[in-house]
Chains A and B, each alone.
Chain A
């Protein structure tokens, strides 16, 4: 997993609520058996016409918007557990997704793939959408050690929460499996002593 400490980036705004993982990547693109190469499918049916032509009004097709931060309306990543959604977001080059809340499974999947899901207040989210609406080149700064996200356009910042264990994983680029494998003795001990 890629290390994450600090990031200053422009924003790609997607002011839609309840973006489900079927929109992030439609089911018909889940047939590959690898974890890479999904960026071309990201938001596929919002991004492309049936004949494959880019839809001019979709944000990923608008070259004025760029950056490693995706800003989304509340309840991002609901629905299917498909990790392909996180793989597509990571493969496209996003390292952070910001919303006022995330669906639980998507949040875990994102974190297991080095994509940081940041939960901000509804007011801060609205302000970010407003700032990027006024100035597409505005930037945001994320400071993971201090758990702070800053709107560089207004100078306002907000702190965000992250589980201390997951924070360590991001700061060091570790993943869960390495850690679990180191605990095998505990697992066998548990199996022996349980009654049911």
Chain B
């Protein structure tokens, strides 16, 4: 009678505050340099140590440059938080993958690819895209810095139990449609706040047939419809992905863990607070046209007209299109673009780079486009080189940079200039997200590759 979420949540309840929140045990805390400094300082102020240092991993990623990581970070404002994390990790004795370390990269790429993230865990990080880890069958969610401090001090957090939602996507994905398109389609249907208060489980044949990388992309974007987190029941895809990874259990421990992981699925008669169904046949390559991820559409569709927007949302819609310099009812196919960003915790994994490379192979990057290809981790970069993708990319006019969050939120030097259009495989098209005045069009790796080659928005299926 239990959902997958219930099983994991219930196994981590330490206590229940009467009429209050749950005291939830956290198996693993990831921390980066933007949202942890004040938490470590809080420990110092209270004269506390880290309660369970072996359950904490620190990785700088947001301020990390995507070139010349062997040199000190040029911008002082970016260097200080990274140096602060260096100092905090050493002083408090927690695991640390500094810049240049072979396990450095974006936290939400590094955790799963090293097997630190495992089914059945509770995982938090001061980062909303922590929902990514749910793809491996975890309850994983983003938290604020005060909560990071709680976890550092006690390995626990106070949380109200969210409601549960199951989103089932059945059918077979059409050619040229990838996990990112599925996510952008769902968010456009749900709106940017449509899953607020819920923890989502993704199910159905489309989800079962996704690779681990695709599942990570799908869960990553759960927060973009307001969900507390997203998760997928672990199955053979998950187990095959995990087996042999550095932190994954070995030998007898593996067998014992596997037996437990196989119980981690929603019971047949489990009841969700909300059930939603989508059909794969309705999903096409997607883009966004506005300034939140819910403002998305199929690449060959038109932006809604003003008449199609609810009265209360009209002002926000007009403001958003004004920022993007698009017109209500406009089609965006053929629209010239200036930048392409390929990477981030959403689409910075090896499969994403394979898709991108496959499309651009034998073609040439458009001259009017600046392209930033930023792998999600050093492991991904290494794999790109082992598979020879870097050579194909180079022949097509692309350079593979060094791992970082990079232009996803422009905390390093990779900033899209004001007024310029960027087709981005990242997760947010908010105003100024990729640099003050930048205009972001979210898309999957295939649409991004096509835009980089043709210098404009084109349907990758028709070229």
- A146 contacts chain B at the CB level, 8 A cutoff: no
Contact A23 B430, beta carbon cutoff 8 Å: yes
Interface size counted on chain B using CB atoms at 8 A: 75
CB distance from A18 to the nearest CB of B (A): 5
- B444 CB-CB contact with A under 8 Å: no
B226 touches A104 (CB 8 A): yes
Tell me whether B143 and A165 are in contact (CB under 8 A): no
A175 CA to B42 CA in the complex, in Å?
13
Q: Which of B192-200, B272-280, B371-379 has 4 or more CB atoms under 8 Å from chain A?
A: B192-200
Complex CA gap A80/B144 in Å reads 9
Interface size on A, residues (CB 8 A): 57
Q: Is A18 touching B316 in the complex (CB atoms < 8 A)?
A: yes
Task: Indicate which residue in A33, A75, A86, A108 contacts B192 across the interface (CB closer than 8 Å).
Answer: A75
Does residue B60 face the partner (Cβ distance < 8 Å to A)?
A: no
Write 28 A-B pairs (CB below 8 A) sorted by A numbering: A15-B315, A17-B312, A18-B292, A28-B436, A31-B78, A33-B84, A35-B145, A45-B432, A75-B193, A75-B196, A78-B226, A81-B35, A81-B144, A82-B34, A83-B38, A102-B196, A104-B162, A104-B196, A105-B141, A108-B147, A108-B159, A112-B144, A165-B158, A177-B149, A179-B17, A180-B158, A187-B25, A187-B155
Given contacts A31-B78, A34-B38, contact A109 B146 (CB under 8 A): yes
A53 within 8 A of B: no
B333 at the interface (CB under 8 A from A): no
Chain B residues within 8 Å of A135, by CB: none
Within residues 23 to 42 of chain A, which ones have a CB less than 8 A from any CB in chain B? Answer: 23, 26-28, 30-31, 33-35
**B81 at the binding interface (Cβ < 8 Å):** yes
Q: Which of A34, A78, A79, A187 touches B14 (beta carbons < 8 Å)?
A: A187
Other-chain residue from B23, B35, B141 in contact with A183 (beta carbon distance below 8 A): B23
Residue of A whose beta carbon sits closest to that of B21: A165
Determine if A150 is an interface residue (Cβ-Cβ < 8 Å). no
On chain B, the residues within 8 Å of A22 by CB distance are 409, 428, 430-433
Given contacts A17-B312, A83-B144, A108-B143, contact A33 B433 (CB under 8 A): no
From B120-128, B172-180, B239-247, B350-358, the one touching the partner chain is: B120-128
The CA of A86 and the CA of B35, in the complex, are separated in Å by 13
**Assembled-state Cα–Cα distance A15/B315 (Å):** 9
B154 at interface by CB-CB < 8 Å: yes
**CB–CB A108/B34 < 8 A:** no
- B370 interface residue, CB < 8 Å from A? no
Set B48, B141, B315, B411: member contacting A16, Cβ < 8 A: B315
Q: Which residues of B contact A175 (CB under 8 A)?
A: 146
Contact indicator per residue, chain B 98-132, by CB within 8 Å of chain A (1) or not (0): 00000000000000000000001000001110100
- Taking a contact as CB atoms under 8 Å apart, the answer to whether A75 and B154 are in contact is no
- Asked if B397 is at the interface of the complex by the 8 Å CB criterion, the answer is no
Q: Which residue on B lies nearest to A184, using beta carbons?
A: B154
B270 interface residue, CB < 8 Å from A? no
A145 to B119, CA, bound (A): 42
Q: A81-B142, A81-B144, A112-B147 given as contacts; is B80 within 8 A of A31 (CB)?
A: yes
Nearest Cβ distance between residue B90 and chain A, in whole angstroms?
16
- Is the CB–CB distance between A183 and B154 below 8 Å? yes
Shortest beta-carbon contacts, A-B, top 10: A165-B20, A75-B193, A33-B37, A109-B144, A83-B144, A112-B146, A81-B142, A164-B19, A22-B430, A83-B145
- State whether B11 touches A176 (Cβ < 8 A): no
Q: Mark B39-53, 1 if CB is under 8 A from A, else 0.
A: 001100010100100
- Taking CB atoms, residues of chain B closer than 8 Å to A82 are 34-35, 144
Instruction: Indicate if the CB atoms of A31 and B63 lie closer than 8 Å.
Output: yes
Q: Is A170's CB within 8 Å of the partner chain B?
A: no
In chain A, what residue has the closest Cβ to B197? A104
> Do B35 and A83 touch across chains, with their CB atoms under 8 A apart?
yes
B193's contact among A31, A81, A101, A190, by CB below 8 Å, is which? A101
A183 CB contacts on chain B under 8 angstroms: 14-15, 23, 154, 156
| Residue B410 interfacial (CB < 8 Å) | yes
B65 to A: closest C-beta gap in Å = 14
Q: Closest B residue to A125 by CB, please name it.
A: B312
Tell me if A165 and B17 are in contact (CB < 8 A).
yes
Q: Say whether, besides A45-B432, A180-B158, A18 and B192 are in contact (CB < 8 Å).
A: yes
A15, A186, A196: the one within 8 Å of B120 (CB): A196
